[in-house]
Amino acid sequence: MKRAYLLIFTVGVLSLSMLLAAARTVHGQNFTGTVVPQSNPESPQQGTAGEGDDINDPFLAESTGPTGQSENEETPESTDIPEFIRAMSHYTLGTGDILEIEVLRHPEISGQYIINNEGNIQYEFVGDVSVADKTKDEVKNILMERLATYIIAPEVTVKIVGYNSKIVYVIGEVGAPGKIFMRGDTITVHEALMQAGLPLLSAKTTAGRVITPAQDGRAAIRKVNISKLLYDGDLRENLVMKPGDTLYVPATFLAKTMRVLQPIAAPIGTAAGTGRTVMTGF
């Protein structure tokens, strides 16, 4: 048996040596049939391109165009990246958001306030203040105007400490699917994926979908190539999502097939290990 292995190994080594020798011989041959002219030190130097050039010279095989570029050279394709809205834009307040209001030298009217279902906050001295669909700067101006009745030159600071009114959803083959609380009026697919976790190995990243619900029941579906966005940096795939949108990352066909076969194969594998017979019902 050892002699047979030794014989097979010897034949393989000899065959590989013959192939390498043949490759070197073929590489050294000149199939063009042209003779490369040798430079003559006594002959005058050639002038500009086109004067005295040999058309059979293999070094002049590629002709140049009027701009000096090779005719076979491909011009790099320009990529037009459309403008898109960044997610960290101004944030308009809504139900469930939490505001922290601080009035300088007046801790008795400073604190945190939750926006109720009516879009108001219940603030001391001035009563209900409508803050829905307003920015924090607009709320600051409203409070300063109303507090001026009770306080001389009030200095008000408004901060958003709880973002709860605007939500998007990321489902499918990602690290942590679920809902994402937005910190702006819009959010991009890239930022949503960074918060929900990168796609899993089972994800079909070329077939992502952004689903926007509609009042008539017909959802608008936009395709997004997550692979181009994350790994090629194609910002054209960085779609903008609004509150209520859903980003769906589907699974590959192989992953779906394995999930169907796994419950069937599991009892068979268990039976094979124990030597028992399992009735599958088929």
Residue 175 sits in a domain whose CATH number is 3.10.560.10
Q: Sorting pLDDT into bands at 50, 70 and 90, what band is 17? A: low
Query: What percent of the chain shows pLDDT beyond 70?
Result: 63
Q: Would you state the pLDDT for residue 217?
A: 83
Residue type, 48: T
Q: Is residue 3 part of a domain?
A: no
- Regarding whether 179 and 122 lie in a shared domain, the answer is no
Q: Sorting pLDDT into bands at 50, 70 and 90, what band is 5? A: low
- Regarding whether 233 and 184 lie in a shared domain, the answer is yes
Of the residues 125, 146, 162, which one is the last residue of a structural domain?
A: 162
Q: Sorting pLDDT into bands at 50, 70 and 90, what band is 206? A: very high
Q: Sorting pLDDT into bands at 50, 70 and 90, what band is 58? A: very low
Residue ranges of E strands in the chain: 98-103, 111-114, 120-123, 127-130, 156-162, 167-172, 178-181, 187-188, 208-212, 220-224, 240-241, 246-249
Q: Tell me: pLDDT of 207 over 80.
A: yes
Mean pLDDT of all residues in 2-14: 60
Q: Sorting pLDDT into bands at 50, 70 and 90, what band is 271? A: low
Q: Is residue 90 part of a domain?
A: no
Q: Would you state the pLDDT for residue 191?
A: 96
Q: Would you state the pLDDT for residue 167?
A: 97
Q: Tell me: pLDDT of 71 over 90.
A: no
- Regarding whether 187 and 223 lie in a shared domain, the answer is yes
Q: Tell me: pLDDT of 170 over 50.
A: yes
Q: Tell me: pLDDT of 7 over 90.
A: no
| More confidently predicted of 266 and 87 | 266
Q: Is residue 92 part of a domain?
A: no
Q: Tell me: pLDDT of 25 over 70.
A: no
- Regarding whether 244 and 171 lie in a shared domain, the answer is yes
- Measured between alpha carbons, how far apart are the two ends of the chain, in Å? 47
Q: Is residue 271 part of a domain?
A: no
CA-nearest of 167, 160, 197 to 182 is 167
What is the distance between the alpha carbons of residues 172 and 185, in angstroms, rounded to a whole number? 24
Beta partners for 121?
129
Of the residues 162, 184, 211, which one is the last residue of a structural domain?
A: 162
Structural domain for 234, as ranges: 167-251
CATH of the domain at 156: 3.30.1950.10
Q: Sorting pLDDT into bands at 50, 70 and 90, what band is 263? A: confident
Mean pLDDT of all residues in 56-69: 45
Q: Tell me: pLDDT of 226 over 90.
A: yes
- Regarding whether 182 and 155 lie in a shared domain, the answer is no
Per the structure block, which two tokens stand in for 96?
Answer: 């469930």
Mean pLDDT of all residues in 167-180: 97
What is the distance between the alpha carbons of residues 6 and 269, in angstroms, rounded to a whole number? 40
Contact between 210 and 189 (Cβ < 8 Å): yes
Global confidence as pTM: 0.62
Q: Sorting pLDDT into bands at 50, 70 and 90, what band is 18? A: low
- Regarding whether 231 and 171 lie in a shared domain, the answer is yes
Q: Tell me: pLDDT of 198 over 70.
A: yes
Q: Would you state the pLDDT for residue 15?
A: 61
What is the distance between the alpha carbons of residues 121 and 97, in angstroms, rounded to a whole number? 10
Of 17-26, 106-115, 196-205, 214-223, the range with the lowest mean pLDDT is 17-26
